[in-house]
Structure 1
Amino acid sequence: MMFELHPRLAQDGLPLGRFPLCRLLLMNERRYPWFILVPERPGIAEIHQLPDADQIRLIRESSALGGALAAAFAADKLNIAALGNLVPQLHVHHVVRYRHDPAWPAPVWGRFEPWAYDAAGLAAVRERLAGMALPDFVPWP
């Protein structure tokens, strides 16, 4: 079985690059810096289904991403979650939160109709991502 990105993630996420285990997407919702890690393993819905080495790799990639996002975006809080209620493919949300954001202190999921990135906004996120110290991350063109 080959890895295929779930259609909903492909529809809602903008590809940014990949780590050794995970593909990195940007949720196409510009109210929040919202990133999604998707382990590129077929048929995985839960973290416990990953082999031990992949579980460790996922935590390392998530921790590196989380620390870089918190610093680069001066987050008041970083929400990290693997919900999977609508999309059964394992994916881990990393949402930068601010006390002044439109959903604070509630969760951002399903709160608003998405406000998509324009070309300049996406370029700005890619530029900021390029300035982060993310070990083993390879950006996509």
Structure 2
Amino acid sequence: MYGCETWTLTLKEENKLLVAERRILGKILGPVKREDGSFRLRKNVEIEDLVAAPNIIGETKAHRLRWFGHVLRMEEDRGVKRAYLGRQVGRRPVGRPRYRWGDAVGVDLSALHADNWREMAQDRDDWRILVSEAKTHFGSLRH
């Protein structure tokens, strides 16, 4: 998950990460033994209930929001803040615009119904609560 704060995952990439995570957890937890002595693989819901922790998508989105709060609290002359606030100059290429990091953060914040996120980011305790809510909101199969 190194550098996951900067990822902009598409739905296809999210599904690939979830499949890989479930495959690894399934191997770690092992199969379920039936009453007749045979074995079966665990279902995704069973794996989620046994692990009882946010999945990789919840962790990734929480890391991204934590970094976003840090960027918002930065001084205006910092390079990261200038890159976030900067606008592209020149002509835009033909076609659909690329999915940007700021767009991904905006989608995450709207899914959490965080309307006053600019004020929340200035208060570290409030922002920490929002990040933990993101971990649980995005970190389950049933959201």
Q: Same fold (TM over 0.5)?
A: no
Please identify which structure carries the higher strand content: 1
TM-score tier, shorter chain, comes to under 0.3
Which has the higher relative contact order, 1 or 2, with Cα contacts under 8 A spaced 6 or more apart? 2
